[in-house]
Homo-oligomer: A and B are copies of this chain.
Amino acid sequence: MALIVQKYGGTSVGDIERIKNVAKKVSRFKKEGHKLVVVLSAMSGQTDNLIKMAYQITDEPNERELDMLISTGERITIPLLAMALQALGHKAVSLTGRQSGIFTDSTYTKARIKNISNENVKRYLDEDYIVVVAGFQGIDDRQNVTTLGRGGSDTTGVALAVALKADLCEIYTDVDGVYTTDPNVEPKARRIDRISYEEMLEMASLGAKVLQTRSVEFAAKYRMPVVVKSTFKDGPGTWVVAEEPSMEKVVVSSVVYDKNQAKLTVVGVPDKPGIAAKIFGVIAKEEINVDMIIQNVSTTDLTDLSLTVPRTEAGKTMKLLKTAVAEIGAKDVVMDENIGKVSIIGVGMRSHTGVAAKLFSLLADAGINIEMISTSEIKISCVIRRDDVDRAVRIMHAGFSLDAQ
């Protein structure tokens, strides 16, 4: 008998029949004697529809109001699942983010969980309820509704598992685990049995959509075992766990890409101390996630500074940089939205050499130009033309022996 937190994604609760199927699945676990907390996303497409409505009202919807709006999707799926569980004879109750005690900061649309007061959840668990929690949402100090960003329900799941000291957090989705790369791009991709928190964290932050980055951070920090499984067919899934000795033997464990980035270059920046601080200061204040930064070596007293940001924030960043450019006396800002990022990840890189050289020659042989490079102990990322991304992924997947036999 264990305490398990299960999270079901948007496609898993995409319509009434699927919600009933999730209820049957949950019911089986309950009958095995487990205590269960079930975290749900909104029905697939629902959140996008709500966002579309907001943009039909105004081009720049206020983010507090946006969070009020888009937090409704999960409030529809949770009572429906609770009812379906009751119809199967279980005690079940649905709880909103607030009712589950999920407190966040006030960074609307991408708030971070600050703490969880889980007395309410615990009380219901003690009374033998299956507790159905709205993912993706919380409230801030002033009782405003906040949301946790794309994939935020994963984070709700893992954070609740940590707060409740659960034995396990299961993430149910429409794929049967974490793959060596996106099977839509490379059909020879293979499911990974076990992966370390660190690798998963790199995968998530470099663009793999299977888990929200923040959820992996929580899992890693508190050593919460997470397993990613399919809602629709049984299978072992992928276990995300602390690093194991055998993992180092694999040099590269996955290839990841991200087509949702844009590059901005500030041209003709005076090359003197404090300028970069000024530029990134204004961007940081707006909570924009800057990914890569490259400053060209300056041979004159002027230099160029490039950075990449999520494409959704490119317009906002452009505005901020235009203002900054005037202040610091740079020449111009140019934006390039036709870029993509490809990355290789593996804890084995720590103990193997020549990995970067091999990657660069694989791309060079294919005639793919590398525009920016960024590395860490366990990953190497390259910015290339967006049109080259799919081809690069396949070349890298084969080149590092990840293709299925």
Contacts and interface: CB of A to CB of B under 8 A. Distances in A.
A220 B161 CA distance: 51
Nearest to A23: B57
Chain A contact-residue range equals 35 or more
A76 B69 contact: yes
A7 B87 CA distance: 37
Contacts of A57: 16, 19-20, 80, 83-84, 87
A57 B20 CA distance: 7
Interface stretch (A60-68, A175-183, A188-196): A60-68
Interface centre among A57, A69, A98 (most CB of B within 10 A): A57
A84 B62 contact: no
A69 B80 CA distance: 7
A231 B391 CA distance: 57
Contacts of A98: 98, 143
**Chain A contact residues, majority secondary structure:** helix
Contacts of A78: 68
A83 B79 CA distance: 28
Contacts of A54: 79-80, 83
Given A16-B53, A99-B143, A143-B99, A66 B79 contact: yes
Interface of A: 16, 19-20, 50, 53-54, 56-58, 61-62, 64-66, 68-69, 71-72, 75-76, 78-80, 82-84, 86-87, 93-94, 96, 98-99, 120, 143-145
